[in-house]
Structure 1
């Protein structure tokens, strides 16, 4: 498990920072130094990063294409990741989490995403759900749900988006009406990562009137009568995590599964998404980083007219542009992570800026 100042690693680790060193013949050390993701990190963070890079290289990258082509949900590999502390990275230690900071978390997810971006994105969503229960749940809920989620014995999904409400989340329609000591849920959620595979669903539903103050957060466990799932969505890539609709038809959930007070759900959802935006941006960053490294290495090996492509000035400009987008994205993501950890008043805006900027720029890097 990852801990501040404490390590328990199950096996020797081989690959340092995803093979960042350029071939010796390239002579372009400045670019390598500039894109090195360990710059600015303290020694502990470099160790977290090393563990994540090695895990990505050994356990994820060799299988990434197969997972996508065969639409495999790599449960065993994710549970191996949880053994290193990646199942509850920023969850408190008393319920099995690693207790790390938002910046530590970003560094870890960036490194993992170099091995498989879609799997890492699911792990990041799972982490967000566990954090929400850990932060807003009572002690009984924390100790019931968080330990098996931190070990990834169980998996979690976040249920906010509906067919008629995406960005306008406060207009959601899924209802939860009191009946004795239960809530009866009716409605559906759309495009849910892990839908049908996850064991725990953190659901935002309407317990009161219209608007954000009528929304509550309820945990629905797989196997609850009235809970069902739509067909698996067809996607271009992103197939190592299933995406389905989550459907509630007179689904009876104990009132003890409500996280926080009635009417607090929208606040819980938005606070979860602040970290979620950084996490998703970090996943994009990992994919872009891997793209830059692959491009750099290819340019050094591939020859045209007796010279490596790396000697072509036009391609040097292209690579420099990719590196610039990568480094700029990393800077804004890490700035947002620090702001969120420090609970600064600009944190919410920075989290949104980081996701907007980094996902667009990192996509551009990968497409080049």
Structure 2
């Protein structure tokens, strides 16, 4: 089980208790089956919405809970420990609401945010393209103004919730001025000319649909522009700073689940007349796994506390994402090793955890990009 939490108040303690109950009773029992069937957990996201968990860090006046990131991320960790696809999905939804919450006008917030945070709608974040992943400023999906609408053409790639989301926070090119020519549109899923391609065939997170979104003459009302034209790239980068903390928390949850499974197995698996946990080779492996989990948790919590205090946290967010996702990959791999041959079978969840641990090292900025961000911050600090 995770280390004892140091939560700021009773309300936060009650929320985390509720989250653990939902994770234990409603998410964990379904995770293996849904992942094996590549089945999207739409009803589970609706459950999170009814429970008030889809808008935790946003203002109460718009339908959120006005919680600190320190608390929100711990909720996210608990959900990811039970079911990584749902944890990542919650993180993506939260990031998809960011542009509107932070850069939208008051009229736009009043019109759109309550439904987005209230639980019935699920969001997606459409930034990447097949040729513009780490180099997001190279995106080419184009939006041309036509009266009181934009006409959008292009293809977005690697979109979490593609084809299932109710809205897409979409970065488009409104001029040829490089990164300065990118703008942000809030696009409804039922927009004519918008469609999802066939889902990607992935190694892990198979319950979380990932696909291209195709814009073919899609008409988006101009009042769906968030911020000013040309501000989209800045919006995208700022959103990713917080999104990386979400992925870090999810990675810690996944690593914690793998550690718990490995410890439980090592306690009951007997070889040479004693539990394998009593052998130094195994107990040291488990000790290193526990140290990695708790160290990673500390990095994301420190970054979250800086964010909550209004301090710069770009470097700390990149460190948290880097440390937590690398730790998850190592811990899940070691969990398979602890279980031996059993760990390589689908009779135990650690083989799935290991597959799921790979992609957090890639999305929200690869870990190579995180190292570049950290180094750049060191140069200017």
Q: Normalised by the size of structure 1, how large is the TM-score?
A: 0.88
Q: Does 1:337 align with 2:315?
A: no
Whole-Å separation in 1 of the counterparts to 2:9 and 2:257 = 22
By how many angstroms is 1:40 displaced?
6.4
Please say if residues 171 and 210 of structure 1, whose CA atoms lie closer than 8 Å, have aligned partners that are also in contact.
no
Pairing 1:221-232 to 2, within 5 Å after superposition: 221-232=188-199
By how many angstroms is 1:55 displaced?
1.1
By how many angstroms is 1:39 displaced?
4.4
SS in 1 for 2:143: strand
Aligned to 2:105: 138
SS in 2 for 1:114: helix
Deviates more, 1:210-219 or 1:274-283: 210-219
Aligned to 1:57: 24
Pairing 1:104-115 to 2, within 5 Å after superposition: 104-115=71-82
Whole-Å separation in 2 of the counterparts to 1:164 and 1:214 = 17
Pairing 1:42-81 to 2, within 5 Å after superposition: 42-81=9-48
Pairing 1:179-328 to 2, within 5 Å after superposition: 179-328=146-295
How many residue pairs are counted as aligned between the two chains? 334
By how many angstroms is 1:306 displaced?
2.4
By how many angstroms is 1:208 displaced?
2.0
Q: Does 1:351 align with 2:317?
A: yes
Aligned to 1:367: 333
By how many angstroms is 1:194 displaced?
0.4
Post-superposition CA distance 1:324-343 (Å, at most 9, x none): 11011011111111122223
Whole-Å separation in 2 of the counterparts to 1:227 and 1:68 = 27
Unaligned 5+ segments in structure 2 are: 335-381
Please say if residues 340 and 348 of structure 1, whose CA atoms lie closer than 8 Å, have aligned partners that are also in contact.
no
Whole-Å separation in 2 of the counterparts to 1:212 and 1:119 = 32
Whole-Å separation in 2 of the counterparts to 1:125 and 1:38 = 24
Unaligned 5+ segments in structure 1 are: 1-19, 21-34
Please say if residues 7 and 71 of structure 2, whose CA atoms lie closer than 8 Å, have aligned partners that are also in contact.
no
Post-superposition CA distance 1:82-116 (Å, at most 9, x none): 12221111111112111111111111100111110
Whole-Å separation in 1 of the counterparts to 2:299 and 2:10 = 21
SS in 1 for 2:82: coil
Aligned to 1:90: 57
Whole-Å separation in 2 of the counterparts to 1:285 and 1:296 = 16
By how many angstroms is 1:207 displaced?
1.0
Whole-Å separation in 1 of the counterparts to 2:54 and 2:229 = 28
CA RMSD of aligned residues (A): 1.4
Q: Normalised by the size of structure 2, how large is the TM-score?
A: 0.85
Q: Does 1:125 align with 2:110?
A: no
Whole-Å separation in 2 of the counterparts to 1:367 and 1:55 = 27
SS in 2 for 1:173: coil
